[in-house]
């Protein structure tokens, strides 16, 4: 009998099964699968192996839906009843079509992982897991030592009321984003609160808008906006600058842009939105421009949203 002709890759009205036996590599097993409907060459398909594992393989070139191709895979264990996981089968599997013998996706990654583990063991005498554990312990130990040293420095500065030293330490803590951490030592937070409170009280007493603004900004940087003096300073600044009642100074200080104390608030009150819509209706004018090229122009504009921007620096009484 004539041997079946190799597939040309062109779709046929009736897909005849094509099986080309290829010897598996030592330790491998072979199964023959049918290309599913809609699968094109190069598409990954999932193959269920007899041992229960799943093998991911690409549809080889020249195979059309309904045609068969061979998949070679290495079982995870040769013991009776053992079933490798899908990832094991994926790593070890190989598929073949005609004269091609191509590794399944994952084999190369597995080889690299093995090489990396061998290199780690040779260099450090530890497995990758042991080496990671060693690094974590070293980092944690260094962090604990650093926290202890910082705590002692703040303790000494606070006990001697050395404001200059406290400010210097707080500058370092802010530069390293140390104050942002919820795990910052209590003594550091105490020092920050003391400095912020002192600055806010001095600014309130001076009734100087520049000092008030600076103290509010500093309190935010020190993460001390919950001290009572912060709210008092915000109200004093609002009073001196004669800002409208709707200006939320605390929010403006917390959400400032650069050196500008400002805030953006979405307006949702129905009556206010209606006024803006009426303003659009009363001021809208149909204008025919050349870029319209004879097309229709909007009959009206419809309001989408309103945002109120409060900026203390731009307000004038």
User: How confident is the model over 244-291, as pLDDT tens digits?
Assistant: 888 888 778 777 666 677 788 888 899 999 999 999 999 988 887 778
Please state the pTM of the whole predicted model.
0.43
Residue with tokens 């650093």: 146
pLDDT of residue 72: 76
pLDDT of residue 61: 84
266/141: higher pLDDT: 266
Q: Is 125 helix (H, G, I), strand (E, B) or coil?
A: coil
Average pLDDT over the chain reads 72
Residue 137: band (very low, low, confident or very high) from pLDDT cuts 50, 70, 90: low
Tell me the C-alpha distance between 153 and 1, whole Å.
Answer: 93
Residue 138: band (very low, low, confident or very high) from pLDDT cuts 50, 70, 90: low
Q: Is the Cα dihedral 56, 60, 65, 70 positive or negative?
A: negative
Cβ atoms within 10 Å of 253's Cβ, excluding its own: 24
Give the highest mean pLDDT range of 62-76, 100-114, 260-274: 260-274
Nearest CA-CA partner of 191 in 157, 214, 215, 233:
157
Out of 81-95, 128-142, 218-232, which region has the weakest mean confidence (pLDDT)?
81-95
Tell me the C-alpha distance between 297 and 295, whole Å.
Answer: 7
pLDDT greater than 70 at residue 150: no
Q: Where are the domains of the chain?
A: 29-111, 136-241, 270-314
pLDDT of residue 273: 92
pLDDT of residue 270: 92
- Arithmetic mean of pLDDT, 159-170: 72
Tell me the C-alpha distance between 213 and 236, whole Å.
Answer: 10
Tell me the C-alpha distance between 204 and 35, whole Å.
Answer: 80
pLDDT of residue 25: 63
Contact 53, 83 (CB under 8 A): yes
Residue 156: which H helix or E strand, with range?
helix 128-159
- % the chain with pLDDT above 90: 12
Residue 191: band (very low, low, confident or very high) from pLDDT cuts 50, 70, 90: confident
Contact 200, 219 (CB under 8 A): yes
Q: What is the dihedral of CA 275, 279, 281, 287, to 10 degrees?
A: -160
């Amino acid at each position: 009998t004539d041997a079946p002709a190799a597939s040309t890759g062109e779709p046929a009205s009736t897909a005849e099964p094509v099986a080309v036996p290829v010897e598996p590599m030592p330790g491998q097993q072979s199964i023959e699968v049918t290309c599913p409907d809609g699968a094109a060459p190069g598409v990954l398909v999932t193959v269920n192996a007899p041992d229960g594992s799943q093998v991911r393989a690409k549809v080889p070139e020249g195979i059309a839906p309904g045609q068969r191709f061979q998949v070679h895979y290495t079982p995870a264990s040769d013991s009776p009843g053992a079933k490798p996981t899908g990832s094991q089968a994926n790593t070890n599997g190989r598929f073949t079509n005609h004269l091609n013998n191509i590794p399944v996706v994952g084999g190369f990654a597995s080889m690299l992982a093995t090489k990396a583990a061998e290199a780690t063991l040779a260099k450090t005498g530890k497995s990758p897991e042991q080496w990671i554990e060693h690094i974590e312990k070293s980092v944690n130990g260094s962090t604990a030592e650093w926290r202890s040293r910082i705590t002692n420095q703040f303790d000494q500065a606070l006990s001697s009321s050395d404001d200059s030293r406290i400010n210097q330490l707080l500058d370092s803590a802010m530069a390293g984003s140390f104050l942002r951490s919820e795990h910052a030592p209590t003594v550091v937070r105490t020092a920050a609160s003391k400095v912020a409170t002192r600055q806010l009280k001095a600014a309130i007493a001076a009734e100087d808008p520049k000092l008030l603004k600076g103290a509010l900004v500093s309190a935010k940087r020190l993460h001390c906006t919950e001290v009572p003096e912060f709210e008092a300073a915000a109200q004093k600044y609002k009073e001196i600058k004669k800002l409208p009642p709707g200006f939320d100074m605390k929010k403006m200080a917390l959400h400032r842009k650069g050196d500008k104390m400002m805030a953006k608030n979405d307006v949702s009150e129905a009556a206010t939105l209606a006024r803006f819509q009426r303003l659009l209706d009363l001021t809208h004018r149909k204008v025919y421009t050349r870029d319209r090229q004879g097309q229709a122009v909007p009959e009206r504009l419809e309001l989408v949203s309103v945002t109120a921007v409060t900026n203390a620096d731009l307000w004038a009484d």
